[in-house]
């Protein structure tokens, strides 16, 4: 059983920064590609960023490129999402996801999900 727990959300003013973390339980973290997704009220869940098993490959949604950075620490079973220059439209619940075979933007491809952490950006 794989469990994912996000943290680091909160309230921040536009232009500010937050760093989200996602800790993955179990001893097989290195086998998982990881992704971040978000969902705002009344909207569909959308892709934010993803990172490969080793961390050598990353990809981002166009809306966050240049502002957000995904990274992973395999020794700590943790991935991060550094979010800079936050905008009110970044307000959403943010979820991390894991999958052994897939590292792209399609949410239905990921097998494991966390419960989410709320990010609110005030204008």
Looking at residue 8, what is its pLDDT?
98
Looking at residue 28, what is its pLDDT?
87
Looking at residue 26, what is its pLDDT?
79
Which stretches of the chain drop beneath a pLDDT of 70? Answer: none
Looking at residue 82, what is its pLDDT?
98
* CB neighbours of residue 68 within 10 Å: 21
Contact assessment for residue 110 and residue 102, using Cβ atoms and an 8 Å cutoff: yes
Looking at residue 1, what is its pLDDT?
81
Q: Given 3-state DSSP classes, what are the helix, strand and coil percentages for the chain, each rounded to the nearest 5?
A: 5, 50, 45
């Amino acid at each position: 059983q794989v469990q994912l727990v996000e943290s680091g959300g909160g309230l921040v003013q536009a232009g500010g920064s937050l760093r989200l973390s996602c800790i993955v339980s179990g001893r097989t973290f290195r086998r998982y590609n990881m992704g971040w997704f978000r969902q705002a009220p009344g909207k569909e869940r959308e892709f934010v960023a993803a990172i490969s098993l080793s961390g050598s490959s990353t990809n981002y949604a166009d809306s966050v490129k240049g502002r957000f950075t995904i990274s992973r620490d395999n020794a700590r079973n943790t991935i991060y999402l550094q979010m800079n220059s936050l905008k009110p439209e970044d307000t959403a619940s943010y979820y991390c996801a894991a999958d052994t075979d897939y590292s792209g933007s399609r949410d239905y491809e990921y097998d494991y999900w966390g419960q989410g952490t709320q990010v609110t950006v005030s204008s």
